[in-house]
Structure 1
């Protein structure tokens, strides 16, 4: 196997592990642990894409509709989502965020960014520059 293939494979391995560890640490910076990561993901999808049917939400989250129905019921019980009649299909409902959900998502983002900001302050200016450049490359890898 050529050296560049080995180097690329080793980089892929190291990067995968580093990203997983980093992601886990970032996810652990929580404000409200009574709301699961699955709940937060669904709320974040609604924030990003706007109100939608439970089926559409399940599609975005890549879960089966019955699983999303349980998530929506839990979120509604916590006062984080609303159900309103679908404007054109009487058999459907539209799930939307409440003000409490908007506040929760903002608080969760602030907590993660505060943790990350503190960690970034521990780095040298050169290391922060490398990370700034790497963030662009990682976004490219993610297809963004």
Structure 2
């Protein structure tokens, strides 16, 4: 599903941008959250900044680091990604039998209980 969402936004770019929805992060924080090496995240951040999807600013708490923030264009790209993912999933689910859809509803309830535990 990650690859079906938005062909203009690579899955690892979307994932990094989703992390910025709660507020700016340092590249190191993003690397840790994404479980990638710092140089990989630096390349990702640079690409996002070049495309205008994220911005870099000085970190007021640490002059040695930068903060990555989501731009309006980045927010729009994420919104398009969410809608595309939802549409993709709804088309697949619509083709299932009622019995299969019921199985998925029951499985979703079980998974939600696991997450809440």
TM-score category of the 2 structures, normalised to the smaller one: 0.7 to 0.9
Spell out, residue by residue over 1:24-60, the C-alpha distance to the aligned partner (whole angstroms, 9 max, x if none).
xx12323233x3221111111212x421111111110
TM-score by length of 1: 0.72
Structure with a larger share of its residues in strand: 2
The whole-number CA distance in structure 1 between the counterparts of 2:3 and 2:20 is: 21
User: How far 1:124 sits from its partner (Å)?
Assistant: 2.6
Larger Rg: 1
More helix by share: 1
Gaps of 5+ in 1: 1-25
Which gives a bigger RCO, structure 1 or 2 (Cα 8 Å, sep 6+)? Answer: 2
Matched, 1:117 2:97: no
Residue 30 of structure 2 is aligned to residue 37 of structure 1: no
Measure how far apart 1:141 and its partner are: 5.2
Shift of 1:109: 1.0
Q: Gaps (5+ residues) in structure 2?
A: none
Q: Residues 100, 57 of structure 1: CA spacing in aligned structure 2 closer, same or farther, 3 A cutoff?
A: same
Pair 1:66-2:39 in alignment? yes
**CA apart distance, 1:143:** 7.5
